[in-house]
Structure formats: C-alpha cells, structure tokens
Structure 1
C-alpha cells in the first residue's frame, strides 16, 4: 500500500501541469520532491526502528501516504503534488528500512530469503500498480481527481487497521547510530554509477513520458508505462540472482540504452507498442540485473561496513532519480522533446559504456588480487 501511493498520480502529471500553466521542468521538480523526503530519513534516521520498533514506523508511513493522497484530492495542482511526493518520500524511507526485518519476524519459522522476496516483489508491484489503476480510470473518464485516489484511501484505511493488529518488535538495547554516512570503498563506484543511470531512466519514464505521449493523445497509457518499468523487473530477478554481481550489472547496462532508445523513439513517434515493450526491457535492467547485481556487488565488497556502503549505493540511485530528470525536463522546455530525449540518450549511452569499463577493470583486478578491488 505504501509504494502503491508513490506513483498513483503519475498519469496525471501532464494534466496538472497544463492546469497550472506550467511546463515539464516544473513537473520534474514536483516529481523530485520525493527524493527530498526520502534522503534525510535514509541517511539521518538509520537506527529509529531499534528505538521504537518496526510497527510504529509502518503506521506512520501509511498515515503519510493517506495524507499525501488526500492533499492531491482536495487541492489538485503541481505545488500540492510536490508536497505530497515529499510526504511519500518520508513514508517510503521509513518503510524500506524496516520492511524486510519486520516481515521476517512476522513469518514465524520462515527463512530470511523468503521474507526478502516477499518485500521485494510487493514493493516493485506497488510502484507500478498505482499508476496502472489510475490509467484505467482516466481511460473511462479523464479527470485530475480520478476514483483511483478515493479507492486508495479506502484500501489504505483497511491496511492501517490491519497493521494496527500486528505485534510490534521489541526495541533493541544495542542501538546503532542514527546517522548513516554513505561510504564508497574501492570497487563500488561502478555499481553506484550503474544504479544512477538505471534510476535516471526510471525517473524519466515516470515524470517526462506523459508529456511526450500527450502529443499523440496517449497520456492515459503512461500509467502502464510506469507499471512496465517499475514492476516487470521482478520477473528477471531470478536470472539476476544466478549471475555474478559484475556480470549481472554489465548485462543490465547493455540492455538499458537499447531499451531507452526504443522507449524514446516510440514516445516521439506515438508508437505505443514500442513504448510498452521498451519499458519492460528497461525494467529488466533497472529493477533486475543492475539493481540486484549492484546491491549484491557493493555488499560483497563492504563486508562489515554494509550499512554505510548500502547508503552510498542508494544515495547514487536517488541522485539519478532526481537530478538527470530535472535537467531533462528543463531541456524539454527549452529545446523540445526530440532534442532533449536525444541528449539524455547520448549521455546514458556514454555513461553505460564508461561504467561497463570500470566494472570490467575492477573485476579483472579483483580476480588477480581477491583481497582488494580498485576503483
């Protein structure tokens, strides 16, 4: 329910911007407010669950999602969207830190890998599901306050009641530090750059694709594109787990520019099938091969410093999810969709080639000196 709220309004971005007389650049700023909410919690409230338990954080996250969705119903607009996404960022950060641990403790007798798979799958499905449901409703009746928002409020209240009946985890007497500073040991830079490129592509599809599809009367389909790039990657995760981290990440980096080219061409030409196929292919990289391969890679390198290194990995991810998207949005307002999407594609391709080189060099040095990795 928490991740479902995050992209619930994604198919409405173009309509909200048009209503307020604003462009794509303003839309991407509102979109990026999500990162402004998530980063302080991710880096500064690391040990909160050990002080209050997991359940209060899940409840707080659900309440924030309900408030955010209510705001977009009561006062629809880009400014409200920015405020709502800031709250959603806080809620997502509170949840992501505790969900795997809480799920493991609730599944009495279950192993940690099963709990992790449940959380990973439900999270990925949620990020795309909200947008897809909204698209279904605006197909029938175009609106900036579609019934999907009301439906979410009802389901969210049910989820809140259900969570309130669960047991809380006991506070941990051995509390870790609240501040989690990111760390980049030798060998992690390539993985960080890979996830930056991957999530930049995800952010572009969510925030900018609706405006490109609008020229062809296909805005309502943008929710399914969001579902494709956010949720379909889970189908490829078993293959990603079977590969070595560097090989998985390199495979994702090969797929990503090709998939983006298909998406951008389809959006500019109004070829819906190309857009949808491209988003599924991109998702295989963004939430499959690159995401899992990169995270596994940095954790293998980190060893005892896993908390700081994972923070560094996700810091790179959220930088990609915001700054390149904002820059591309500003470019679209200045030079148009074709030029801006082409520039993004060239930067993505050059970044992917550079990152593949870093990973291959790092892997070669690791094979020669397993005790230490360069770069």
Structure 2
C-alpha cells in the first residue's frame, strides 16, 4: 500500500473517532430534559467521557505495543458507532452517559495508537510532520462533529437522528475494513497488556499547559451552551463549539514553523485572553464576543499548545511513543474534565455566569503559576531565549 494512501486512511480514522465525540453536543439540552439535575446532568454526562478515557490512557496507553496499532483503531471506530447508535435507539440522559463513556474509551485507544502509528508510517525523520497530521485530523474531528449536527438540525428540525449520525454509521464500517489493509510498521512486543503512561523528562510544562488550555475547551463545550440557552442563543452552540476547535487547526501550520518553546509561550497568552473575551461576551449577551473568545482559546488549545506539546512528547520518547502520548493526554483530560465538573456544581448553586467567572479567576491564576514555574526552569528558559534570538 502506498505510504500516502496509508496516511490518508489513518487520518480519516482519527478524524472519524474524534468526529463522533462531540457529534451529540447540540442535542445535550434535549437529552437531559428528562433529568431534574440541571447543569449537573450535563457535567455528569460530560464526565462520563473522561471516566471512559482516563482508565484507557492510564492502563491501556501502551496496548498497541502488545497487539499492534490496527486493532485499537478498529475498536475505537466501533465504540464510536455503538455509542452514537445508543443515542438513536434510546435517546435520553442515561444513553448519553453510556455513549460518552464509550466515546472516551475509543478516543483513548485511537489517539495513543494513532500517534505512534502515524510516526511509524511516515518515518522517524518526519515525527513533527506526523504530529501535525494527527493534531489536524483530531482537531477537525472534535470540531466537525458538533458543527455537522448543528447544520443537520437547522435543515431537518429537531430530531434525534440527524444526518450527521447517518454519515458516521456509513464511515465506521468502511474505515474499519480499510484499516485491516494498512501496513504493519511496528513489531508487537511481548509486554504487559496493562501499561502505564510515560511522562518524558522535562515535558511537564507542555503537559500542564495542555491541561490549562483544554480546560477552556471543556467549558466551551459543556458550560457555555447552558448560558447561551438561557438567552435564547442555543442555535449558536454548534458554531461556538466548532470555532473553539477549528481555529486551532488553522493555526497549526504556523505553529509547526515555530519552535516548541515559542509556540508554548504564545499559547500561555492566548488561553486566558480568549476566555476573558468569551466571558465578556456571555456577560453582555454578545454572541460576537463569545465567538471571538472561543476562537482565541482554540488557537491555543488546538493550535500552538497542542502541536508543541504533542511534538515535544513524541520527540522525547521515540521508543515509547504510544505511552508518551497517553501521558500527554492524561494532563489534557484532567484539565478538560475536573474544572467543568466543578463548574457544573457551582452553576446549579450560584448560576451559570457566576460559575464561569469563578473558573476565569482560577484559569488566570493557573496560567500564571505554570508560566512562572516554566520560566524559572533553567533548561526551558534557555530554550525559549534561544528560540526568540533566532526569530
């Protein structure tokens, strides 16, 4: 199989797995309507995704080292299809929790195996380009699912079986068959099925920055739509989520041209700035500011910070790339989930906007602390200075 075709199939698989993750986001309010838990119902369903993903990252991040890269990717596709099918067959909050859990498992399997597999297909000399392809395909997937369902609902009206779901059901079996035909570039090793993540030396600032940046994305996906719904702006949810992810994709080619320290430093600025703009838009009921703020946070979460972090983790652990990817996403999803769950509880007690404001204060403090600690680290500080001098 030609290398270009193998790369295309793999990126389509990564896109499809992550496409399924936010596919149901514009329907959250409809799924939880039967529940009496308010904002907490949304955050519990949101947390179910992490409940499926985190154990997969922590205990099965190196699974593909034992059984090969292809099987975990096929499993991820199937989990995405089954989770989405559950929402069609029995739409409701319980099905949403089940679906999100399955989607979390699938994401954990696909991102760890897929990152290692892409580098193996493309070769060690193109590790950073392989990381760019992985970040681009997953970024488009995470954002594209919500947008596709938003467009489908605008054309079809309210339904629990939008056209975007049907598209996923067609793609999953076709791609699963193509994955079987992909070349085996790795040599499965006689290692334990349960393998813990690897955290390469000196990568903690990148992981911590990912966690901080992705916390803003979690808020945009789970909490911001609740505020939009209060002000009859719920029809903007799909576009807000799409921008919160897609703008990062547009920034990735620029991020690839920058050194990892420079890209990370830019991300440290964009993350809190974008969220503060988004918060101002929510406070003033300005959808324009909400969209602009979501775009700025996306530039960091899925652009500069994401690519710099994935590239750094991959380059510093070439022998354990799948487990290193798992280590990075442990950072990312801790940030993605815990603040959102806490904000959901606060929203039910004090109000959605107040919860968003409290999160904004915590975000600013966290960003400053991580940046200060990174800047004080001799190795990273020297790298940043050297990178600025070469610009």
Match of residue 225 from structure 1: 240
Instruction: Check the 8 A contact 2:24/2:146 in 1, yes or no.
Output: yes
Equivalences for 1:123-272 in 2 at 5 Å? 123-140=138-155, 141-164=157-180, 166-167=181-182, 169=184, 172=187, 174-182=189-197, 187-272=202-287
Once residues 36 and 201 of structure 1 are traced to their aligned partners in structure 2, the CA distance between those partners, rounded to angstroms, is 19
Unpaired runs of 5+ in structure 2? 1-15, 384-391
Of residues 11, 22, 44, the one that matches 2:59 is 44
Instruction: Check the 8 A contact 1:259/1:279 in 2, yes or no.
Output: yes
Instruction: Report the CA distance shift for 1:158/1:299 in structure 2 as closer, same or farther (over 3 A).
Output: closer
Aligned-pair CA distance for 1:84:
0.5
Once residues 109 and 358 of structure 1 are traced to their aligned partners in structure 2, the CA distance between those partners, rounded to angstroms, is 31
Aligned-pair CA distance for 1:263:
1.4
Match of residue 12 from structure 2: none
Number of aligned residues:
367
Aligned-pair CA distance for 1:361:
0.8
Once residues 117 and 315 of structure 2 are traced to their aligned partners in structure 1, the CA distance between those partners, rounded to angstroms, is 23
Once residues 318 and 142 of structure 2 are traced to their aligned partners in structure 1, the CA distance between those partners, rounded to angstroms, is 30
Match of residue 7 from structure 2: none
Aligned-pair CA distance for 1:259:
0.6
Match of residue 56 from structure 1: 71
Instruction: Check the 8 A contact 1:246/1:294 in 2, yes or no.
Output: no
Unpaired runs of 5+ in structure 1? 369-375
Aligned-pair CA distance for 1:186:
6.7
Look up the SS of the partner of 1:21 in the other structure: coil
Between 310-319 and 278-287, the greater mean CA deviation after superposition: 310-319
Once residues 101 and 192 of structure 1 are traced to their aligned partners in structure 2, the CA distance between those partners, rounded to angstroms, is 18
Is residue 29 of structure 2 the alignment partner of residue 26 of structure 1?
Answer: no
**TM-score, normalised relative to structure 2:** 0.84
Of residues 86, 95, 98, the one that matches 2:101 is 86
Q: Deviations over 1:192-237 (max 9, x none)?
A: 3211111111111111121111022221221111111122212212
Between 128-137 and 182-191, the greater mean CA deviation after superposition: 182-191
Instruction: Check the 8 A contact 2:271/2:300 in 1, yes or no.
Output: yes
Once residues 157 and 309 of structure 1 are traced to their aligned partners in structure 2, the CA distance between those partners, rounded to angstroms, is 29
Of residues 303, 315, 320, the one that matches 2:335 is 320
**TM-score, normalised relative to structure 1:** 0.87
Is residue 364 of structure 2 the alignment partner of residue 349 of structure 1?
Answer: yes
Between 104-113 and 6-15, the greater mean CA deviation after superposition: 104-113
Instruction: Check the 8 A contact 2:112/2:325 in 1, yes or no.
Output: no
Look up the SS of the partner of 2:309 in the other structure: helix
